[in-house]
């Protein structure tokens, strides 16, 4: 078989995992450490190397897989001259077929019973802290050869309590410094995270104990209500950072939240197309008023859009308005859920939370805040005071 280095450019982590004989390979890593991409490279290599193997990549939901691991595998194969004519893609079933007869399938399981279907040779549990342990257990006992697990360690979960430390498991801890493909600017951005706990998790890959979260009054639901008092779209522009478009509905006195778009390198025509494809062209969009050119361009595309009413202390004002409501966030809104789990108040010198949020993990949350400023906040009414001479 051809050497991996003749097929694609790899990080040292690739060789370390390939040479590991343990049944369970755990990749605990900070942001941009290359853990997910490297595991997927190894699985592509296994599909090329072995005949008629079944490789299953599991995520918390299908939209997240499509935008993440499935897209990465297509990139890995597409960027390799060696691989390009050896794989085919079944887009509807999310199955990648190799000329060896091996397949890489991408799946999500709703519950323990759902996970009982099918067997496999290799299993990759992507972002495992979003997968319940009973689902993992059912998948694991139906895996013949090797299991790969990765996650950002925002807090302890079942991997720490049930797997790490067992003889059959090997743990790798990586961070952005291990990823030699990142630019200096990308390294500096991650290394520059000021909050100690976030730095520990995302710049060093160490298990965190995040506290002082900005929003904590939310639950996870499967769908949005059809009946509502108000409905708007919040839009936070980005390019190198993600553009976030969020469906916000006010129903039963609560906020219902659904992720429509969360992606980098998005243009205004892309935004217009997503809005129309989702049948939302008639819904008012509340966007970041710091981008008047983008707002005007989207108006010319025929969208109903306005800038958020910003002013002094508008961030804390918007947050205070949103904290009055119970949130119901759809299960498929994986990026919103990740931001909610990481958006926290800055800490003072005494280690206690201040009333100023950290400017991280806030793209979709800013989009929701714009809706709050324009549609959920009612300015106080000041009564006119008349002197006797005016009556």
Please report, for the domain that includes residue 351, its CATH number.
Answer: 3.30.420.280
pTM for this structure?
0.72
Q: State which residues form the domain around 313.
A: 218-376
pLDDT in tens, 216-275: 889 888 899 999 999 999 999 999 899 999 999 999 999 999 999 999 999 999 999 999
pLDDT on residue 381: 58
pLDDT in tens, 75-85: 999 999 999 89
pLDDT on residue 388: 47
Same domain flag for 100 and 144: yes
Q: How many domains does the chain have?
A: 2
Task: Determine which of 152-161, 299-308, 328-337, 344-353 has the lowest per-residue pLDDT on average.
Answer: 344-353
For residues 375 and 24, give the distance between their C-alpha atoms in angstroms, rounded to a whole number: 50
Q: How confident is the model at residue 389 (pLDDT cuts 50, 70, 90)?
A: very low
DSSP state, residue 60: S
Same domain flag for 165 and 235: no
- Is 387 within the bounds of a domain? no
Same domain flag for 186 and 236: no
Same domain flag for 153 and 274: no
For residues 96 and 105, give the distance between their C-alpha atoms in angstroms, rounded to a whole number: 6
For residues 12 and 123, give the distance between their C-alpha atoms in angstroms, rounded to a whole number: 21
- Is 385 within the bounds of a domain? no
């Amino acid at each position: 078989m051809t050497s991996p280095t003749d097929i694609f450019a790899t990080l040292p982590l690739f060789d370390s995992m390939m040479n590991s004989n343990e049944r369970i390979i755990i990749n605990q890593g900070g942001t941009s450490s290359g853990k997910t991409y490297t595991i997927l490279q190894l699985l592509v290599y296994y599909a090329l190397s072995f005949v008629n193997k079944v490789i299953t990549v599991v995520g918390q939901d299908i939209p997240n897989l499509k935008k993440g691991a499935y897209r990465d595998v297509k990139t890995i194969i597409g960027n390799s001259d060696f691989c390009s004519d050896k794989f085919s893609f079944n887009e509807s079933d999310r199955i990648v077929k190799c000329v060896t007869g091996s397949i890489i399938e991408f799946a999500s399981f709703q519950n323990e019973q759902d996970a009982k279907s099918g067997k496999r040779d290799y299993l990759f549990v992507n972002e495992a802290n979003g997968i319940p342990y009973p689902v993992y257990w059912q998948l694991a006992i139906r895996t013949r050869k090797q299991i790969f697990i990765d996650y950002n360690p925002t807090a302890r979960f079942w991997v720490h309590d049930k797997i790490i430390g067992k003889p059959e498991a090997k743990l790798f801890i990586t961070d952005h410094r291990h990823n030699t493909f990142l630019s200096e600017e990308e390294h500096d951005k991650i290394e520059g995270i000021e909050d100690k706990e976030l730095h520990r998790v995302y710049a060093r890959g160490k298990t965190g104990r995040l506290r002082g979260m900005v929003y904590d009054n939310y639950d996870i639901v499967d769908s949005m209500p059809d009946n509502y008092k108000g409905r708007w779209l919040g839009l936070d522009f980005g390019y190198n950072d993600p553009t976030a478009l969020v469906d916000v509905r006010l129903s039963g006195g609560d906020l219902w939240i659904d992720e429509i778009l969360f992606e980098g390198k998005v243009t205004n025509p892309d935004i217009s197309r997503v809005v129309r494809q989702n049948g939302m062209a008639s819904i008012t969009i509340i966007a970041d008023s710091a981008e008047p050119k983008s707002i005007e361009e989207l108006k010319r595309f025929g969208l109903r859009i306005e800038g958020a009413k910003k002013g002094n202390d508008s961030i804390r004002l918007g947050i205070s308005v949103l904290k009055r409501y119970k949130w119901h966030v759809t299960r498929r809104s994986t990026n919103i859920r990740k931001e909610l789990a990481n958006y926290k108040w800055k800490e003072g010198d005494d280690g206690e939370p201040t009333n100023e949020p950290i400017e991280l993990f806030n793209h979709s949350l800013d989009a929701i805040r714009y809706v709050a400023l324009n549609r959920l906040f009612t300015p106080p009414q000041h009564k006119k005071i008349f002197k006797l001479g005016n009556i």
